[in-house]
Structure 1
Amino acid sequence: MAAGLKADSAWAAFRHRDFAFFCAARFLSGVGIQMLNVAVGWLVYELTGSALALGMVGLAAFLPVVSLALFAGHVADRHDRRRILVAAYGTVAAAASALVLYLLAGGTAVWPLFLAVTAMGSARAFANPASQALVPNLVPAHHFGNAIAWNSSTWQTATIIGPALGGGLYIFGAPTVFAAAAGALALTALLLAAVRHRPAMRPREPASWASLLAGLVFIRSQQVMLGAISLDLVAVLLGGATALLPIFAEEILAVGPAGLGLLRSMPAAGAALMALLLAWRPIRRRAGRKMLLAVAVFGLATVGFGLSETLWLSLLCLLVLGAADMVSVFVRQTLVQLETPDAMRGRVAAVNSVFIGASNELGEFESGTLAALVGAVGAVVIGGAGSVAAAAYWAWRFPALRERDELIRQER
C-alpha cells in the first residue's frame, strides 16, 4: 500500500492535462535543439577546423540572451506566456528550415550558421523566462516539486536522444539533421498552442528601468537564491566541456560524428537518471549542502573527463557530471520558481536565464578560447578544478545557502 502511494505521488504532476502537454512540447523542443547543437558544432568544425570558431558558436547563442533578457522577462510578466512560447519555437523552426535551404543551395560559408544561431538565441531569449514562469501555473503548489523533477527529466531525456539522433542523422548530411529538428520544433509550437492554461490577471505596469530591473533587485535581496544561481553560473562556466566535445571525438577518442552524439548524450543521461530519482525521492533536508557537494562532484568528474583517453571512462565521467549538475539545477529551479511572486516570475526567470546562458553558451566561448591557448585537455582540466574551488568558496561566501535545510518550506 505504501509503495502504491509513493508511485501515485511520483506521477502526481501528470494528472494535470496542461502540464502533460507542456512536458511533451518540452521533450520535442529539447530533441530539436540538441540536434541543432550537434549539427551546427560539427559543421562549423568541419568548415573551419578551429576551436575558437566552436567557442564563437556559443557566443552567438549567448549574446541575444543577455541583450534581450530584461525586456523578455518584462514581456513574460505582461503577456500570455503560452503565446510567447508558441511564437518563439516557431521562430527557431523557421531558422532551422532556412539552414536546410541554404545548405541544399550549396552554401559553404560559415557566417550564415552564426546568423541562424543568433536568430535562434533571440527566440530562446523570450522562450526561457516564459517557460520557467509558466510551470508554477500548470500544477497546484503541493505538486510543484514533483513537476520540477519531471520537467527536468523530460528535458534531459530529450538531450540524451537529441544528440544521438542528430549524430546518427548527420551520416545523411547536415540538411537532414536541420530538417528533422525543424519538424520537431514546429510540432513543439503546435503542442504549446493546445495548452488551455488561462493566464492570471496580472497588473500591467508600464515599462521602466525600475520594472525591468525588478527581477535582478529581487534576486539580490534573496541571499540563498543569489548564492544558488551564481554558483551554478560559475561552476558550469568554468567546468563546461560541451563546446570542445567535437575535438575530443575527432582527435582524442577518434569516434566521429556518431560518437560525438553519444558523448553529448551522456551528461543528459546522468541528469535524467538523477531527475527520475528526485521525482521519487525529492530533496527534503540539507538542500544547500547537497547542492555544494554536487557542484564539487561536477568539477571532479570534469577533470576526469579531460584526462581520459578511453571512450568508456569518458562516457562515465560525463554521466557523473550530468547527474551532479542535475542536483544543482533542481535546487536552483525550485528556489527561483517557488519563492518568487507570480507577478515577477518572468523577470526573475529572465535573470536566471542570463545566468544559465552565461554558464552554457558563454562557457562554450570561454572553453574554446582557453583551448586555443592551452589545448582542449588543459582547458577542461583547468575548468573542472575551478568548479571544485568555486564550491568551496561559495560554501564560505554564502552561509545562508550552506545552511539552507528544507528546500520547499512547509509554510509554503
Structure 2
Amino acid sequence: MADDMQTSTAPGRGFARVLRSPGTLRLVGSLFVLETGSAMTTVGLPLLVMQRYGLGLEVGFTLAARFLPNILLGALAGQVVDRHDPRRVATLAALGSGLAAALFPLTTAMWQIQLLALAIGVGYMFGFPATMALRPQVIPEGSELEGNGLIVTAERVPKLLGPAVAGPIAAVAGVNWLFTAEAMTALAAAALLLRLPRAAGAGAGEADRDGAVPDGARGDAAGAQQVPAAVRRRLAGWVRAVAAGARDLVRMVSGDGRLSSLTITAFTYMVALGLGRTFLAAYSLHAFTHVPGMLGYLLAAMGLGGALGGMAAAAFRSWNQGWVYILGNVLEGVCWIALIATHDWYAALALLLAAGVFESVASVVYFAEVQKRLPAGLQGRYYATLVPLSDVFLVAGTIAGGVLVDRAGISCGAVLVGLAMALPVLVLVTRLVPERPVPEAVRETPVAESTPA
C-alpha cells in the first residue's frame, strides 16, 4: 500500500471488476436476502406480541432478547469463526435463524417467543462475523472499496425494502406470513453461501484446536461422575481462549494507530446513534404533530441515503480515505444539528437523506480500511469483538439520550448528536490521515501466532 489510507486509481479496479466476481455477488446477494427477511421479522415480531398479549414490558423484553447473545457472548463467536470454515458457520447461522423464525406462529406462550428471539440473536451473533470473514476470500484485491460498497448497500437497502414489503404481506395474508418469508430468505441466503468456494485451510485441524475430550468424560460409568468437572474445565478453557483472543485483537489494533482510531470512532458513533434514535422520536412528536408517522418517514429517508451512499463511496477513490472518513462523520453531524433550524417536513427529510449518504460513505471507508489493515484470519474475531461492544455503546447512548433530551431539550439533543459524531474524528485527525504505510508487522502478522491454542 503506497500511501496507507490514500488509494490510487490503478487499472483494473472499479465496480466492473467486482461485478465479474461470482463469489462477491453471491456473498452480497446472500446478505441482501437475509437482511430483507430479518427486516420483515423486525416488523412482525412486535406485532405478533401485541396482537396476542397486548402492550407492555413483554415487547421490550422480546426485542431485547435478540441483542442479548451478541452482547454477552459475541467474543465467543469470533473463536468459532477462527476455528472453523466461516462459510459453514454463516450457512448454519442463516439456517438456524430461518428455522427459529418459522416457528414463531406455532408458539403458545410468551416464553417460547422470547426463546426463539434469543435463537435468532444467536444466529446473528455467529452469522455477522462469519460473513465479514468471507470478504477477503471473495473480494478481488485492489477492489476493497467497491466490494465493501456493495456489501454496505446490501445491508442498508433491506432496512427500506423489508418494512415496505412487510406492510402489504401483513395486511393481506397476516402477520404469521412475515416469519415464513424470513424462513424462505434464510434458505436462499444459505444456498448462495454454499456456492462460495471453501477457504484454503479452513477447518483444518478443527478437532485439534477444539481440544480433546477430557478423560473423565469419555462415556464409561466411572467417568460419568466427572462430567461436571469436565464441563467446568471446558468452560474455563473457553474463557481463557476468549480472553486470549481479546488480548490478541487489542494488540493488533493498538499496533496500528489508524486502525485503533477507526475502532474508537466506531464506538463513539454508536453512542451518537443511540442519542439520535431518542432525539428523532422526540423531534418527530414535537416538531411534526401535523404529520402522522413522521418518525417512520425520517428513518426511511436515512435508509435511502444509506443505500445511495454505499454506492457513491467509490467515487472518492482518488481522495485520501482518511479525509473521506472524517468528512463523512463531520458532515453527518452537521446535518443532525441543522434539523433544529427547520420545521418543514421536506427539509427534515432532505437533511436526513444527506445524513444517511454521509454515514454510509464513512462506513464503506471504515470496512475497507479494516479489511486492508487486518490479517484475513483475524477479520472474524475483530467483528465478533466489535459488534457486542458496539451494542453496549448503542444501549448507553439510547439511555443517555432519554435523560439528556428530556432535561436539556430537543435543540440541545440535536447538538449533542452532531457533536458526538464529529468531535471524535476531529480529535483523532492526525491518526486518521496517515502519511506512512501500514507497518509490516501489522500487515503480515501470521494468523497462527494470533490464534489461541
Q: Give the TM-score normalised by structure 1.
A: 0.80
- The letter of the residue matching 1:267 is M
Q: 1:405–1:15: structure 2 CA closer, same or farther, 3 Å change rule?
A: farther
The answer to which of 290-299 and 15-24 deviates more is 290-299
The answer to which of 74-83 and 317-326 deviates more is 317-326
Deviation at 1:131, TM superposition (A): 0.7
What is the match of residue 14 of structure 1? 19
What is the match of residue 87 of structure 2? 82
Instruction: Tell me how far apart the structure 1 counterparts of residues 309 and 67 of structure 2 sit (CA, whole Å).
Output: 27
Superposed, 1:49-128 pairs within 5 Å as 59-102=64-107, 109=110, 113-128=113-128
Instruction: Tell me how far apart the structure 1 counterparts of residues 267 and 26 of structure 2 sit (CA, whole Å).
Output: 30
What is the match of residue 195 of structure 2? 194
Structure 2 unpaired stretches of 5+: 1-9, 211-237, 445-453
Q: Deviations over 1:329-348 (max 9, x none)?
A: 11211122121112222212
Q: Is residue 302–residue 381 contact of structure 1 (8 Å, CA) maintained in 2? A: no
Matched, 1:330 2:356: no
What is the match of residue 348 of structure 1? 382
Q: Deviations over 1:353-404 (max 9, x none)?
A: 2344345xx34x7426743785599579626524424522442246211x23
Matched, 1:180 2:181: yes
Superposed, 1:252-267 pairs within 5 Å as 252=288, 262-267=297-302
Q: 1:27–1:304: structure 2 CA closer, same or farther, 3 Å change rule?
A: same
What is the match of residue 274 of structure 1? 309
Matched, 1:215 2:245: no
Instruction: Tell me how far apart the structure 2 counterparts of residues 303 and 11 of structure 1 sit (CA, whole Å).
Output: 38
- The letter of the residue matching 1:28 is V
Q: Is residue 28–residue 154 contact of structure 2 (8 Å, CA) maintained in 1? A: yes
Larger radius of gyration, structure 1 or 2?
2
Q: Is residue 46–residue 59 contact of structure 2 (8 Å, CA) maintained in 1? A: yes
Matched, 1:404 2:416: no
Deviation at 1:26, TM superposition (A): 1.0
- The letter of the residue matching 2:24 is F
Q: 1:66–1:169: structure 2 CA closer, same or farther, 3 Å change rule?
A: same
3-state DSSP of counterpart to 2:199: coil
Instruction: Tell me how far apart the structure 2 counterparts of residues 380 and 44 of structure 1 sit (CA, whole Å).
Output: 35
What is the match of residue 214 of structure 2? none
Q: 1:314–1:330: structure 2 CA closer, same or farther, 3 Å change rule?
A: same
Matched, 1:155 2:146: no
Instruction: Tell me how far apart the structure 2 counterparts of residues 21 and 32 of structure 1 sit (CA, whole Å).
Output: 17
Superposed, 1:268-347 pairs within 5 Å as 268-279=303-314, 281-304=315-338, 311-347=345-381
Q: 1:28–1:143: structure 2 CA closer, same or farther, 3 Å change rule?
A: same
Deviation at 1:305, TM superposition (A): 5.2
Q: Is residue 29–residue 192 contact of structure 2 (8 Å, CA) maintained in 1? A: yes
Q: Is residue 216–residue 351 contact of structure 1 (8 Å, CA) maintained in 2? A: no
Q: Percent identity?
A: 21
Superposed, 1:163-178 pairs within 5 Å as 163-172=163-172, 173-178=174-179
Instruction: Tell me how far apart the structure 2 counterparts of residues 158 and 270 of structure 1 sit (CA, whole Å).
Output: 13
What is the match of residue 416 of structure 2? 385
Q: Deviations over 1:244-291 (max 9, x none)?
A: 87787788557677x766544322211111121123x14343322332
* Cα RMSD, aligned residues only: 3.9
Q: 1:398–1:63: structure 2 CA closer, same or farther, 3 Å change rule?
A: farther
2:266 to 232, 243, 257: 232
Deviation at 1:85, TM superposition (A): 0.7
Instruction: Tell me how far apart the structure 1 counterparts of residues 357 and 59 of structure 2 sit (CA, whole Å).
Output: 25
3-state DSSP of counterpart to 2:67: helix
Deviation at 1:23, TM superposition (A): 1.2
Q: Is residue 337–residue 417 contact of structure 2 (8 Å, CA) maintained in 1? A: no
Instruction: Tell me how far apart the structure 1 counterparts of residues 129 and 252 of structure 2 sit (CA, whole Å).
Output: 15
Q: 1:41–1:212: structure 2 CA closer, same or farther, 3 Å change rule?
A: same
Q: Is residue 229–residue 355 contact of structure 1 (8 Å, CA) maintained in 2? A: no
The answer to which of 375-384 and 205-214 deviates more is 375-384
Q: Give the TM-score normalised by structure 2.
A: 0.74
- The letter of the residue matching 1:146 is E
